[in-house]
Amino acid sequence: MSDKNKIKWENWAKNVICETDQLLKPASLEELQKIVKENDKIRVVGSGHSFNAQMCSTHTILDLENLNKVIKIDKEKKQVTAESGIKLKCLNKVLVKNKLGFALLGNADSQVSAGLMATATHGSSVHVGTVSDTVVAVQIILADGSLKTIDSSNEAELKAARCCLGMFGVIYSVTFQLVDVYNLEVLVKMTDQKFAMDPKLRAEHFSVDLLYFPFVDTFETTILDYTSKPADKENPFLEWFNDIFIRNIVVPILLKILVCFPGLVPTFMKLIAWFSGIGTGKPSVKPYIKVYLAPSHFPALDMEYALPIDKGNEALEIFRKLVKKYTSKEDPFYINLPVNIRFLKGENKTLIGHNVDRDTCYFDVSSYAGFKNYEPFFKELADEFIKIGGRPHWGKIFYKNPKDMYENFDEFLKIRNELDPKGKFLNPFLTKLVDGENVG
């Protein structure tokens, strides 16, 4: 196909752009199977919420937005089976109506169910693992168009499929293990590092989620606990003011200005730290989906490393030194968004989940898309984090090949090659990954 007939696709952050021969949107399982059987070099896109090129294909891209139904809810087992194209926002509404919910979530609800699973989406709790760890069954379309169910009858395949980066086939449906719907008691405090990073704090509470403000050296510490208390009365105006007006209108406008005047970033960071501290220190009670999900709608470039849980303070020192180094350069780079630090229980339910076999501290660094010179900073920070045992988040920016960071990666590849021996579901990015080459 000539370049002029190519179809352009880009991800949410607009840092990944590819041109493909065809972008197809099947509306049924049968249509999906036919497409997979008849086409070559297929990749699937969801909400485009990943930050690397794993979803790209120059041949065929599938968008499963029309496969968005809840197939089954088993209230007795507390499980839901949903088609892979359903967005979390829609799935949550169905679950809440049935008095069910996820044990833990991240902070975005635009992701589709297959994306939640395939890249090991996570929240923050040393008592719970990733969303991938909750998967009890997966249905995938293999290269010949056949439908394969992977469940506990083949535990090795299930462990591999829970976090598979879409390399086994096209995911048609996912079955998640759920819990009874719940409310959370929320306490937000502005604290110092000693309080925020205290292991006792995260052991004593269900969730501790941190925002670290560079240049201010303070933490917004969010502490969550299960509660039987009823949710507080909602204030729609206050929610709109904080989540929409401030987070997604005012902050992006200020960031656009700071692109032209980066030296003002430290002042900006002081401003948003001050604003974040307003009204904190008083507990509130909210439904879980109101707590976890506070997405930002402006484009940011995101790199996250999963570190051994006892390396969090060392990671902060590394980060501070590099911030100082890069702001002192002749052509400086200022880290311009708060750092999200989260903690997670280690599990052995996947082969290549970033929390496999160890409790984990996640260090999530973002830069507004308009800032130049972010990449040298990201690369050096990644190199330093790898030295202390860091594993990159599969759905975010990374450069070095992480194969050697997983002792079960060869087992993962063996299963992958058995299910897709001709590499129909690989692209150049993933081919480099499986071959041990660096991807960036």
pLDDT digits (tens, 9 = 90+) for 178-187: 999 999 999 9
Tokens of 414: 């063996």
Q: Where are the beta strands (DSSP E) in 118-234?
A: 135-141, 147-151, 170-177, 179-180, 183-191, 207-213, 218-227
**Which phi and psi (to 5°) does residue 154 adopt?**
-135, 85
Q: What is the domain count for the chain?
A: 3
| pTM, full prediction | 0.95
The Cα–Cα gap between 219 and 207 comes to 15
* Matching residue, tokens 């008592």: 127
- Give yes or no: residues 294 and 235 share one domain: yes
Q: Which two tokens stand for residue 162?
A: 């829970």
Amino acid at residue number 312: G
Token pair 């079955």 is found at 175
Residue 435: inside a domain: no
Which amino acid would we find at residue 342?
Answer: R
Given a cut of 90, whether residue 12 has pLDDT beyond it is no
Sign of the CA dihedral with 127 first, then 113, 408, and 340 last: negative
Same domain, yes or no, for 262 and 341?
A: yes
Q: Please check whether residue 219 lies inside any domain of the structure.
A: yes
Residue 119's CATH number: 3.30.465.10
Q: How far apart are CA 117 and CA 165, in angstroms?
A: 9
414 within domain boundaries: no
Boundary-marking domain end, from 48, 63, 78: 63
CATH number for the domain including 273? 3.40.462.10
Is the pLDDT assigned to residue 2 strictly greater than 60?
no
Check whether residue 208 and residue 319 sit in a common domain. yes
Query: Are 314 and 191 part of one and the same domain?
Result: yes
Strand order in the sheet with 60-63: 22-24, 60-63, 42-45
Residue 407 CA to chain centroid, in angstroms? 22
Same domain, 324 and 194: yes
pLDDT band at 295 (very low <50, low <70, confident <90, very high): low
User: Which residues have CB under 8 Å from 359's CB, separation 6+?
Assistant: 126, 308, 309, 343, 344, 345, 346
Q: What's phi and psi for 315, nearest 5 deg?
A: -60, -40
* Structure confidence at residue 239 (pLDDT): 83
| pLDDT at site 32 | 98
Contact 122, 396 (CB under 8 A): no
Handedness of CA 67, 105, 176, 389 (dihedral sign): positive
Radius of gyration over alpha carbons of the chain, in Å? 21
**Average pLDDT in the 317-343 region?**
97
188 and 176 in a common domain: no
355 domain-assigned: yes
For 379-432, how does the pLDDT look when each residue is reduced to its tens digit (9 = 90+)? 999 999 999 999 999 999 999 999 999 999 999 999 999 999 999 999 999 999
Structure tokens at 98: 């049935």
What CATH number corresponds to the domain at position 46? 3.30.43.10
Write out the residue range of the structural domain in which residue 38 sits.
Answer: 3-63
Give the residue from 376, 275, 363 showing the smallest Cα distance to 327.
Answer: 376
Domain boundary among 29, 44, 63: 63
Asked if 33 and 147 touch (Cβ cutoff 8 Å), the reply is yes
Does one domain contain both 41 and 93?
no
Residues 377, 279 within the same domain: yes
Residue 428 lies in a domain: no
209-237 pLDDT per residue, tens: 999 999 999 999 999 999 999 999 988 88
Tens of pLDDT along 92-131?
999 999 999 999 999 888 889 999 999 999 999 999 999 9
Per-residue tokens: 174: 């996912």
pLDDT for the residue numbered 344: 98
Q: What is the pLDDT of residue 36?
A: 98
Are 215 and 193 members of one domain? yes
Q: How many angstroms from the chain centroid is the CA of residue 51?
A: 9
Among the three residues 160, 180, 200, which one is the final residue of a domain in this structure? 180
Residue pair 106/115 in contact by the 8 Å Cβ criterion:
no
Residue 334 token pair = 């200022």
Query: Which amino acid type is present at position 180?
Result: D
* Sheet-wide strand order for 135-141: 70-74, 79-83, 170-177, 135-141, 147-151
- Residue 420 counted as domain residue: no
Say whether both 188 and 160 belong to one domain.
no
How much of the chain, in percent, has pLDDT values that exceed 70?
Answer: 98
Reported as type and span, the H/E element at residue 161 is helix 155-162
Sorting pLDDT into bands at 50, 70 and 90, what band is 367?
A: very high
- Is residue 402 situated within a structural domain? no
HSE of 113 in the Cβ direction (CA atoms, 13 Å)? 32
Judgement on whether residues 44 and 104 belong to the same structural domain of the protein: no
437 close to 406: Cβ distance less than 8 angstroms: no
Asked if residue 175 and residue 42 are part of one domain, the reply reads no
Q: Give domain status of residue 426, yes or no.
A: no
Longest distance between any two alpha carbons in the chain, whole Å? 63
Residue 3 pLDDT level (bands cut at 50, 70, 90): low
Q: How confident is the model at residue 4 (pLDDT cuts 50, 70, 90)?
A: low
